[in-house]
Structures are given as C-alpha cells and as structure tokens.
Copies of this chain bind each other. A is one copy, B any other.
Amino acid sequence: MRSPAELTEAFRAHGLKITPQRQLLFRLMHGNECHPTAEALFQTASEQMPGISLRTVYQTLNDLATMGELRSLDLGTGAVRFDPNTDDHHHVVCDHCNEIRDVYVSGSDALSISGLDGFAVSNTSILFNGLCPRCTAVSE
C-alpha cells in the first residue's frame, strides 16, 4: 500500500474525495504489520476520531482492497483481516492468541500438484497454524 500522501493523490486522480475518515485510515494502515480486523481498526480510529462509524471503516478498507492497495485475508480467525503488504507472501496464525506473521515461501514451482486439472488457478495461499513463540513458552 502506498503512503498516505500518494494515496491522497491517487484518490484525487480518480475523482474520489479526500475525507478525514479516509486520511485517518490511510495513516492507520500504512506500514501496519499486525493484520488488523475492521473492528480493531475501528477501535483505534475511534480514539483519534470519536464518532467515526464502523460502516465507514469497512467501506474504506474494501475500497482500498478493490484498488489493490491492500489485501483482505480470511485466515479462519472469524473476521477478515487487512494487510497493506501486497507482496507475494503467506501467513502463520497462532491458534491461541491469533497473532499473525508474514511468511515468505520460495521454491513452490518445484511442487508436484495433482487435482488442478482444468482449473484456471488465479491465487494460491499457504496458511500455517500453530503456536507463536510466546504461547509456546507459556504452554510448556
């Protein structure tokens, strides 16, 4: 996802309005590495802008995802998560505390895969589940 300044330019270029709500979300998402849910962003946003609505958070995040500025991820944690990192990468989820980290995988072209016959695959995602370092330490 581009910087708040660049996004502001891009929005203007597309004839979209620059509202304080959008600018706030640009800032909150830029460089955000914690893969927040809309609800989590709403909480944070509400501190800086009391009265902002959850609906607007959803709307803006979905718009940004449609524009390709961020990815929306269903990692099986109940709510969709939003990721400004649009690199080709994957994720690992802690089954205990839901912490999420980026995972980079290479060499996947060496996999031998059967069952995709006839399918036009447009996306491949690898999801790792387990316990994060903290939760591993606690539970032993």
Report the separation of the CA atoms of residues A38 and B10 in the bound assembly, to the nearest whole angstrom.
44
* A 86-105 to B, binary, CB cutoff 8 A, 1 in contact else 0: 00010010110000011111
Q: Which residue of B lies closest to A124 (CB)?
A: B128
Q: Are A103 and B116 in contact (CB under 8 A)?
A: yes
> How many residues in A have their beta carbons less than 8 Å from beta carbons of B?
39
A111 at the interface (CB under 8 A from B): yes
Which residues from chain B contact A16 at a C-beta distance below 8 Å? none
Which residues from chain B contact A76 at a C-beta distance below 8 Å? 74
Residues 10-56 of A contacting B (Cβ, < 8 Å): none
Q: Can you report 27 A-B residue pairs in the complex whose CB atoms are below 8 A from each other?
A: A74-B76, A92-B115, A92-B116, A92-B121, A94-B119, A101-B119, A102-B115, A103-B115, A107-B111, A108-B111, A111-B111, A118-B132, A118-B133, A118-B136, A119-B131, A119-B132, A119-B136, A120-B130, A121-B128, A121-B129, A122-B129, A122-B131, A124-B129, A125-B126, A125-B129, A126-B126, A127-B127
